[in-house]
Amino acid sequence: MISITGKNPIKVKIFRIFLILIIVSLLKISAIGQVPGVMTLEEAIGIALRQSPDALTAIHHFRSNYWEYRNYRAELMPHLSMAGVLPSLSKDVIVSQEGDRFIPVNYSQYSVDMSLSKNIGLTGGKVSLNSSLQRLDVFADPATTSYSSIPINIQLTQPLFGFNEFRWRKKTEPLQYNEAQRRYLEEVEQIRINASNVFFGLLNAQIKLKIQQTNLANNDTLYQIAKGRFNIGTIAENELLQIELSLLNARAAVEQAKLDISVSSFNLFSYLRIPEDPKLILLAPDPPNFKPIDAQIAIAFARDNRSEALAFERRIIEAESNVSMAKSENRFSAMLNAAYGLRSKPIYSQLDDIYLDPNELQQLSIGINVPILDWGAGRGKVKLAESQMELERTSIQQNRIDFDQEVFIKVMKFNMQPTQFAIASKSDTVALKRYEVTKQRYYIGKIGITDLNIAQTEKDNAQQSYISALATFWNSYYELRKLTLYDFDANQPISFNIDDIPDLE
């Protein structure tokens, strides 16, 4: 055991050196044990679905549509309200009934009204149940207090032969809400596509940097070999200069690849809203599980699940609604107002007396509106609405054709991805093997630098094509999910739990 409590300075120096060596060793072990962060495509998509700007935007869009639908439903429910004046004070001078003198007045009024009302969706009318109470305090000599009341009053307001907005909204509002649900799912699937794009953008840049660094090392080795051959006169100066130029281009390519890494890294970290990690390594995923998809089945899924399919139906109903409204405004219409209730006697000095022996209150009125001469304006509005409805029908018919065609093309594109990916994978293997063979042949002087450069370019292009094919495969898969809102792996429609959307209650 070494002690530093003694007076021997040699032992102290030995201990300090020993301690420094231990610390340096621990630091090296710690550095060796530090593994750079890695991320998979699935992890990137998971983060994007939780906190990307598009995810937050999708939630806000759905939340807005949800409350619009809730407001519509609330309009059909009974509404209870209370209004009051507590109090209204007045001090003034008025002219007497005989008109021969001015009378000072000083009084206060209090009132409270309760109303229970409900819209009638079937007829477009409104029924309400009302009750009110008033109190009047006259500050005179002597002071007096009086009360008046309408204990109960039932009122009905009913348009006759007019446009019933509630009838049409009953058809369109549920469709709009279902559209909002499906549109939210489509936005979620678009997030998968966007996350995949930025993920493969950085993955491609990282692989490109590795390719260029490898090429730089190879070109440096080739240049050293070429200088030796040039010195002994086995190659011409032109070939040496060509190899040197390739080395310079390789260095420039490495710098450009580093810049591409920076740009792609920013795009990924910005979209995922996570701190930047310059050491992050992306892992290339396997291709998606492939099951050939029948185009007609995919089209049927899209018609059943996509928001656009519901939008076609809603647009037709809205066009028919506009025609109905134009016709109702161009013909005879009436408004029925009816009321029945009880009213207290004109004035009571005691609050308990106002509900004794009330008077009956009845009211009935029918207002009419008959267009007589409008110089064809009403008829023109009807024709315009009918023309727009037919135009909408034609547009929807074409939209449906384009809709089916889009799904069909995406299915065909997805079904061909396994073949394209297999070709790219095989090409990558062949090009890499060819480059290694060509490089070895160049080392022994069997071929020239031009053939080696061609093999290197083909190798680089094949590696880039492999990643591009993989990215296209995944992108095509997510696009097909978005177009059909169907999970082909789980064999079920894509759905979501509304309870996962915050601030809906």
Asked if residue 364 and residue 251 are part of one domain, the reply reads: no
Asked if residue 205 and residue 281 are part of one domain, the reply reads: yes
Asked if residue 425 and residue 290 are part of one domain, the reply reads: yes
Asked if residue 480 and residue 401 are part of one domain, the reply reads: yes
Tell me if 385 is assigned to some domain. Answer: no
What are 117's strand-pairing partners? 79, 128
Q: What is the pLDDT of residues 312-321, one digit of tens each?
A: 999 999 999 9
Asked if residue 295 and residue 216 are part of one domain, the reply reads: yes
Q: Pick the residue with more confidence: 447 or 56?
A: 56
Tell me if 70 is assigned to some domain. Answer: no
| pLDDT for res 181 | 94
**Where residue 19 falls among pLDDT bands split at 50, 70, 90?**
very low
Query: What Å distances lie between residue 337 and 117, 426, 483, CA to CA?
Result: 14, 82, 51
Chain mean pLDDT for the chain: 85
Task: Report the domain count for the chain.
Answer: 2
Asked if residue 495 and residue 348 are part of one domain, the reply reads: no
Tell me if 505 is assigned to some domain. Answer: no
| pLDDT for res 225 | 85
Asked if residue 296 and residue 242 are part of one domain, the reply reads: yes
Tell me if 320 is assigned to some domain. Answer: no
Domain that holds residue 253: 39-64+175-315+393-500
Helix (H, G, I), strand (E, B) or coil at 82: strand
Q: What is the pLDDT of residues 444-487, one digit of tens each?
A: 878 877 888 888 888 888 988 999 999 999 999 999 999 999 99
Checking if the pLDDT of 261 tops 80, the result is yes
Query: What Å distances lie between residue 407 and 384, 464, 466, CA to CA?
Result: 34, 28, 26
- Nearest C-alpha neighbor of 184 from the set 307, 43, 302: 307
Tell me if 185 is assigned to some domain. Answer: yes
Q: What is the CATH number of the domain that holds 422?
A: 1.20.1600.10
Tell me if 280 is assigned to some domain. Answer: yes
Asked if residue 137 and residue 259 are part of one domain, the reply reads: no
Asked if residue 182 and residue 156 are part of one domain, the reply reads: no
d(CA 326, CA 169): 16
Tell me if 303 is assigned to some domain. Answer: yes
**Where residue 12 falls among pLDDT bands split at 50, 70, 90?**
very low
Mean pLDDT, residues 64-92 taken together: 89
Checking if the pLDDT of 10 tops 70, the result is no
Q: What's the farthest any 2 CA atoms get from each other in the chain?
A: 137
Asked if residue 339 and residue 311 are part of one domain, the reply reads: no
Residue 49 phi/psi, 5-degree rounding, is: -70, -25
Checking if the pLDDT of 490 tops 80, the result is yes
Tell me if 365 is assigned to some domain. Answer: yes
pTM score of the predicted model: 0.80
**355: Cβ contacts below 8 Å, ≥ 6 apart:** 149, 151, 344
Checking if the pLDDT of 56 tops 90, the result is yes
Asked if residue 180 and residue 159 are part of one domain, the reply reads: no
Asked if residue 103 and residue 239 are part of one domain, the reply reads: no
d(CA 485, CA 344): 64
